[in-house]
Homo-oligomer: A and B are copies of this chain.
């Protein structure tokens, strides 16, 4: 057993799946690798864990290095540790997913990457290592979460219309939803606070803007809710 002091845990990394929502599409933030293996290919941003930081703190640091922002919604997916997942040596990775509003931030590829870019989820390039598994796990988790906790708001601007909210759900769940029923579900949850503001300069009736109610948001995050048959709704 090597007790040699090291600055980083060399067999344990972090990988982040970063979701955004823009133009009614779910997007994924990828970096272009500057190092071998798979130099030049697009992959999930990640890094190693420092000796003196917890794993959650490590994921926050990596995310901040990328986006310049902290206080994002960030949650662990789990550990991925097949023997051959990384070709050079044995590395287990702890995967996280984050939700972010793409427009708000300027990206910073960080030390090991030449570029960072948003990709629509449908146009995601082939990912190296076990990143496809990690991504799939993140998608599954997001799809479940969005039906049981009000986390979707981390992807929306502060003020939004009900249609935007519906499009978010449609993009995440990959279904078409029925507008009247969708509205009612959310108004009944009593989570949205209607504002006295409306859309402007739209070529149709202006929609009312809403924002989520802080207190109720917290409460529902703890107790959870069930939009149970959501995926069966509409045609």
Report which A residues bind B (CB closer than 8 A). Answer: 1-4, 6, 9-12, 49, 51-56, 76-83, 89-90, 92, 94, 226, 228
CB distance from A188 to the nearest CB of B (A): 15
The 10 A-B pairs with the shortest beta carbon distances in the complex, nearest first, are A55-B81, A54-B82, A79-B94, A79-B79, A2-B2, A78-B78, A1-B10, A54-B83, A9-B11, A76-B78
Query: CB-nearest residue of chain B relative to A10?
Result: B1
Question: Is B3 a contact partner of A89 (Cβ separation < 8 A)?
Answer: yes
Distance in angstroms between the alpha carbons of A80 and B79 in the assembled complex? 10
Residues of B within 8 A of A55 (CB): 79-82, 92
Question: Is B52 a contact partner of A83 (Cβ separation < 8 A)?
Answer: yes
Question: Is B76 a contact partner of A79 (Cβ separation < 8 A)?
Answer: yes
Q: Which one, B51, B80, B92, B226, contacts A9 given CB within 8 A?
A: B92
Residues of B within 8 A of A54 (CB): 81-83
Query: CB-nearest residue of chain B relative to A85?
Result: B54
Q: Which one, B3, B49, B77, contacts A81 given CB within 8 A?
A: B49
Distance in angstroms between the alpha carbons of A76 and B76 in the assembled complex? 12
- With A2-B10, A78-B78, A226-B228 known, 18 other A-B pairs at CB within 8 A are A1-B10, A2-B4, A9-B11, A9-B92, A12-B12, A49-B81, A49-B92, A52-B83, A53-B83, A54-B82, A54-B83, A55-B79, A76-B78, A76-B79, A77-B78, A78-B79, A81-B94, A228-B228
